[in-house]
């Protein structure tokens, strides 16, 4: 192993107080991402991906949110324990975020160029002229003509707005970018353009990225590692080949089987029966057990711990617990 991870999340638990009870959004989450690595963070609505992202950034509204356990080590510092001033220095400069909806993440009454400049000058002491030059350069890097720096967001299409958002995120050359479903709201051909762009600058700048998505196709294209999330926990974590060639967790397998495939013909899609648990529900045993086709007796009473399939692939599932024991022998 050796090299220290850029981001290390250990046993993170986050809950929300709502009218209907306590929502256990994140439950003992473990995740890591190294330098220059892209992690795909996959899960369905309500799995807790966005809550995790918000907690990493310290943007979780507290109340009603509350971190009840765990630590988030970014480059050695615990993001949960640092003060506001230190956090403000990190956000935007070392960690940036790209939100899903470009319509609402840009200020509609500010010129696009000015928004990039604002980000730059927040973190670097640099003259306005130099900052504007830098902003123009960034716009070109994301494929927008520099003359458009004087336009307002409403004058851009959805895809171009998202490129502007990416330019802002890149402005201070962060070590880590968190992209929350960055292309979900875009058309397929525009999505391809934006993904291409992201691939390009990733290689050029060596930025790490957490890509939150439900699209397994995008993950295959761009990610090095994958974390599959269900009911607030990472149920499977591996590098991308591991997940696609050897998916272990029944939920992961179910996800893959649910996608209509372009290259094969199938009469019926395989369904995972039932629905994800209500956010306020506390299930005894494994949270996937009510829906799992391989559910065993022990799954209903005990929560599975982390089992390592090999040193780059772990799973939370009793089906594999014995295997690890065998590997140790």
Partner 1 sequence: MSNSNEKLVEVRHLKKYFKVSKGLLHAVDDVSFYINRGETLGLVGESGCGKSTTGRTLIRLLEADGGEVNFHGENILSLDKKQMKKFRENVQMVFQDPYSCLNPRLSVFDLIAEPLTNMEEYRRDKKKLDARVRELMDVAGLSRRLINVYPHELDGGRRQRVGIARALSVNPEFIVLDEPVSALDVCIQAQIINLLKRLQQELNLTYLFISHDLSVVKHISNRIGVMYLGKIVELSDYQTIFASPRHPYTKALLSAIPIPKVGIDRDQIILSGDVPSPVNLPGGCRFAGRCPYVTERCRQEEPKLEHVGGNQFVACHLAEENK
Residue ranges that bind partner 1, judged by CB under 8 A: 44-45, 157, 159-160, 187-193, 195-196, 214-221, 240-241, 244-245, 254-262, 266-273, 275
Looking at the chain, list the stretches that DSSP marks H as alpha helix, in order from N- to C-terminal side: 49-57, 84-90, 102-105, 112-123, 128-141, 158-170, 188-205, 216-222, 240-245, 250-258, 321-328
Residue closer to partner 1 (CB basis): 3 or 20: 20
Q: How far is the CB of 265 from partner 1 (least distance, A)?
A: 8
Residue closer to partner 1 (CB basis): 164 or 255: 255
Residue closer to partner 1 (CB basis): 96 or 183: 183
Q: How many residues does the chain have?
A: 329
Q: How far is the CB of 47 from partner 1 (least distance, A)?
A: 9
Residue closer to partner 1 (CB basis): 171 or 219: 219
Say if CB 286 and CB 318 are below 8 A apart: yes
Q: What is the largest CA-CA distance in the chain?
A: 68
Q: How far is the CB of 206 from partner 1 (least distance, A)?
A: 22
Q: How far is the CB of 292 from partner 1 (least distance, A)?
A: 13
Residue closer to partner 1 (CB basis): 28 or 221: 221
Phi first, then psi, for residue 25 (nearest 5°) are -75, -40
* Rounded Cα gap, residues 16 and 232, in angstroms: 12
Q: How far is the CB of 132 from partner 1 (least distance, A)?
A: 25
* Rounded Cα gap, residues 171 and 156, in angstroms: 19
Task: Give 225's strand partners.
Answer: 39, 239
Q: How far is the CB of 239 from partner 1 (least distance, A)?
A: 10
Q: What strand order describes the sheet that includes 7-18?
A: 21-33, 7-18, 65-74, 77-78
Residue closer to partner 1 (CB basis): 74 or 201: 201
């Amino acid at each position: 192993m050796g090299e220290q991870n850029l981001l290390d999340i250990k046993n993170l638990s986050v809950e929300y107080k709502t009218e209907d009870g306590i929502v256990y959004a994140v439950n003992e989450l473990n995740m890591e991402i190294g330098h220059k690595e892209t992690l795909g963070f996959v899960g369905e609505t309500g799995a807790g991906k966005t809550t995790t992202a918000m907690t990493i950034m310290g943007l979780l509204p507290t109340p009603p949110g509350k971190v009840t356990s765990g630590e988030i080590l970014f480059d050695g510092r615990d993001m949960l324990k640092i003060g506001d001033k230190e956090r403000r220095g990190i956000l935007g400069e070392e960690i940036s975020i790209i939100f899903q909806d470009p319509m609402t993440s840009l200020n509609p009454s500010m010129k696009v160029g000015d928004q990039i400049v604002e980000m730059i000058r927040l973190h670097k002491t640099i003259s306005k002229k130099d900052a504007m030059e830098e902003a123009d350069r960034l716009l070109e890097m994301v494929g927008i003509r520099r003359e458009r720096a004087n336009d307002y967001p409403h004058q851009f299409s959805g895809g171009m707005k998202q490129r502007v958002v990416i330019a802002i995120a890149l402005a201070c050359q962060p070590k880590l970018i968190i992209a929350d479903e960055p292309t979900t709201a875009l058309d397929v051909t525009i999505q391809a353009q934006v993904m291409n762009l992201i691939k390009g600058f990733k290689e050029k700048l060596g930025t790490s990225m957490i890509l939150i998505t439900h699209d397994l196709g995008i993950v295959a294209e761009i990610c090095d590692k994958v974390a599959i999330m269900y009911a607030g926990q990472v149920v499977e974590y591996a590098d991308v080949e591991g997940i696609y060639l050897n998916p272990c967790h029944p939920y992961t397998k179910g996800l893959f089987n649910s996608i209509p495939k372009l290259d094969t013909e199938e009469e019926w899609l395989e369904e995972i029966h039932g629905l994800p648990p209500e956010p306020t529900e506390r299930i005894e045993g494994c949270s996937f057990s009510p829906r799992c086709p391989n559910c065993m007796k022990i799954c209903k009473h005990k929560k599975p711990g982390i089992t390592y399939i090999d040193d780059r692939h772990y799973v939370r599932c009793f089906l594999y617990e014995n295997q690890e024991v065998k590997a140790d022998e």
